[in-house]
Amino acid sequence: MEFCPKCGGLLVPVKEKETVYLVCRKCGHKRKAKKKTSYKVVTTVTSDKKTRTGVIEEEVKISEERLAEERELLREYYEIFLETMAEQETESE
């Protein structure tokens, strides 16, 4: 979560076209968001404005879990890949 440099309010990620902005809900301060995986969440969230804050936190948590899962899968895949490479090397000798 990021906070407004002007008033310290919570900056809410809002997606406009392909760009994600962080918008202050208190004073309306707006700036471009840095590219972070957690902000991808915004797309699913903006449709429901009432429960927005709650949903964001939940979705971010989920996406972090997914990232961890993906990283784990990637590591497994990579290990298999390396094993296959090693096997191929020994076979060719």
**Distance in Å, CB of 22 to Zn ion, minimum:** 10
Kindly state the tokens that stand for 91. 């076979």
Binds Zn ion (CB under 5 A): choice among 15, 29, 40, 52: 29
- Whether 29 and 5 have beta carbons less than 8 Å apart is answered as yes
Closest CB to Zn ion among residues 30, 75: 30
Residue 11 as a binder of Zn ion (CB under 5 A): the answer is no
- Whether 28 and 43 have beta carbons less than 8 Å apart is answered as no
Q: Which position has the token pair 């809410």?
A: 12
Is residue 11 classed as helix, strand or coil in its secondary structure? strand
Binds Zn ion (CB under 5 A): choice among 1, 3, 6, 65: 6
| 55: amino acid identity, one letter | V
Q: Taking CB under 5 A as the rule, which mask of x and - marks residues 66-85 in contact with Zn ion?
A: --------------------
- Residue ranges in contact with Zn ion by CB under 5 A: 4, 6-7, 9, 24, 26-27, 29
